[in-house]
Amino acid sequence: MVNNDYPVIFLEGIIESTSGYLSEIAINRISYDDPNSKILVQAIYTKCPKLKYLKLEFKNNNILELEKLLINCQYLDGLFIIGIFGFDWYRCFEILTRSSPINLFKFKFNYSTHIGCLKLFFDDWKVKCPDRPMKLQLIDEKRRPISEENKNLIETYKAEGIIKKFSNHLYNEDFEWL
């Protein structure tokens, strides 16, 4: 299922009518002030237990639902998180490290992420998920390069085996990892 700008209530209805057969969901935009964004995430984790790939905007008002999604969607293999307007990446990365299902190690993030957040995420991943080196893409839709500081940080964790592959572009599909 792919969305480019439908109301959340409409998307929730579609998800609920699929009887758990959706394996990929890409929702590119949700109205920022839509109070139903939490309901959408709830519909996904209750109605799509076999979900393998998810692209979704997360906001601070629905970030706690991410943990429930990770717990209920145990087949999740790839996750593309778009953090919007002052998104709490610290909390997001803490939840990912603590609750990611065993198959999840492919991540895409829009990279307004702060280097301190990334470092904590990599350090936590190293301790809690050492057997799952991640495939990581940091994406800037304006195609700006990542900072030298972030590049160096990522290279350090690649050398340690925490990051298996890294790229910082959006030239491939939502659910294709290099």
CATH of the domain at 150: 3.80.10.10
Q: Tally the domains of the chain.
A: 1
State both tokens at 2: 């792919």
d(CA 177, CA 116): 24
**pLDDT tens digits, 91-134:** 999 999 999 999 999 999 886 667 788 999 999 999 999 999 99
> Is the residue at 107 inside a domain?
yes
What phi-psi label fits residue 161: left (phi over 0), alpha (psi between -120 and 50 degrees) or beta? left
d(CA 106, CA 133): 9
Least confident of 67-71, 79-83, 94-98: 79-83
pTM score: 0.87
Q: Are 39 and 16 in contact (CB under 8 A)?
A: no
Confidence of residue 72 (pLDDT cuts 50, 70, 90): very high
- Note down the domain range covering 71: 2-167
